[in-house]
Amino acid sequence: MPTLHPRLASVFDELVRRNPGEVEFHQAAREVLESLGPVVVTHPQYAEAEIIRRICEPERQIIFRVPWVDDSGQVQLNRGFRVEFNSALGPYKGGLRFHPSVYLGTIKFLGFEQIFKNSLSGMPIGGGKGGADFDPKGRSDAEVMRFCQSFMTELYRHIGEYTDVPAGDIGVGGRELGYLFGQYKRITNRYESGVLTGKGLTWGGSQVRTEATGYGTVYFAQEMLKARDRALEGSTAVISGSGNVAIYAAEKVYDLGGTVVAMSDSSGYIVDPTGVDIHLVKEIKERRRGRISEYTDERGSGARFIRGGSVWDVPCDLALPCATQNELSAKAAASLIGNGVLAVVEGANMPCTPDAVRAFQEAGVAFGPGKAANAGGVATSALEMQQNASRDSWNFAYTEERLHVIMRDIHERCATTAEEYGAPGNYVVGANISGFTKVADAMLAFGVI
Give the footprint of ligand NDP on this chain (CB under 6 A): 95, 101, 168-171, 213, 241-246, 265-267, 322-324, 327, 347-349, 374, 377
Give me the residues paired with residue 63 across strands: 81
Closest to ligand NDP by CB, 57 or 135: 135
Closest to ligand NDP by CB, 153 or 197: 197
Closest to ligand 2IT by CB, 8 or 32: 32
Closest to ligand 2IT by CB, 118 or 153: 118
**How would you list the strands of the sheet with 304-307, edge to edge?**
304-307, 268-271, 259-265, 236-240, 318-321, 343-345, 366-368
Instruction: Catalogue the E-assigned strands of 75-180.
Output: 75-86, 92-98, 127-132, 164-167
Closest to ligand 2IT by CB, 258 or 321: 321
Q: Which long-range contacts (CB under 8 A, 24 or more apart) does 264-268 make?
A: 264/239, 264/240, 264/292, 264/311, 264/323, 265/241, 265/291, 265/292, 265/323, 266/323, 267/291, 267/292, 267/293, 267/307, 267/308, 268/292, 268/293, 268/305, 268/306, 268/307, 268/308, 268/309
Residue 265: contacted member of ligand NDP, ligand 2IT, none (CB under 5 to 8 Å, by partner type): ligand NDP
Residue 241: contacted member of ligand 2IT, ligand NDP, none (CB under 5 to 8 Å, by partner type): ligand NDP
Q: Mapping DSSP to helix (H, G, I), strand (E, B) and coil, where does residue 239 land?
A: strand
- Nearest residue to ligand 2IT by CB is 95
From residue 267, give the alpha-carbon distance in Å to each of 287, 316, 432: 19, 21, 33
Q: How much helix, strand and coil, in percent to the nearest 5, is found in the chain?
A: 50, 15, 30
CB of 53 to ligand NDP, least distance (A): 26
Catalytic residue, chosen from 93, 108, 117, 129, is 129
Closest to ligand 2IT by CB, 193 or 310: 193
CB of 158 to ligand 2IT, least distance (A): 15
The residues that touch ligand 2IT, with contacts defined as CB under 6 A, are: 93-95, 117, 167, 169, 197, 349, 377-378, 381
Q: Element (H or E) spanning 367, and its range?
A: strand 366-368
CB of 378 to ligand 2IT, least distance (A): 4
CB of 53 to ligand 2IT, least distance (A): 24
* Alpha-carbon gap, residue 168 to 185, rounded angstroms: 18
Residues with Cβ within 8 Å of 93's Cβ and at least 6 positions away in sequence, in order, are: 114, 118, 125, 126, 127, 128, 164, 165, 167, 378, 381, 382
CB of 267 to ligand NDP, least distance (A): 6
Residue 93: contacted member of ligand NDP, ligand 2IT, none (CB under 5 to 8 Å, by partner type): ligand 2IT
Residue 245: contacted member of ligand NDP, ligand 2IT, none (CB under 5 to 8 Å, by partner type): ligand NDP
DSSP code of residue 287: I
Residue 211: contacted member of ligand NDP, ligand 2IT, none (CB under 5 to 8 Å, by partner type): none
305 phi/psi in degrees, rounded to 5: -115, 130
CB of 313 to ligand NDP, least distance (A): 16
Catalytic annotation on 108? no
Q: Mapping DSSP to helix (H, G, I), strand (E, B) and coil, where does residue 290 land?
A: coil
Residue 244: contacted member of ligand 2IT, ligand NDP, none (CB under 5 to 8 Å, by partner type): ligand NDP
Question: How far is Cα of residue 265 from the mean position of the Cα atoms in its chain?
Answer: 17
DSSP code of residue 101: T
Closest to ligand 2IT by CB, 167 or 365: 167
Residues with Cβ within 8 Å of 375's Cβ and at least 6 positions away in sequence, in order, are: 117, 118, 120, 121, 216, 406, 407, 410
Residue 258: contacted member of ligand 2IT, ligand NDP, none (CB under 5 to 8 Å, by partner type): none
- Nearest residue to ligand NDP by CB is 243
Closest to ligand 2IT by CB, 106 or 381: 381
Residue spans of alpha helices (H) in 325-423 = 330-338, 354-362, 370-373, 375-389, 396-420
392 phi/psi in degrees, rounded to 5: -125, 165
Residue 197: contacted member of ligand 2IT, ligand NDP, none (CB under 5 to 8 Å, by partner type): ligand 2IT
From residue 89, give the alpha-carbon distance in Å to each of 159, 332, 448: 16, 37, 15
What positions carry a catalytic annotation? 129
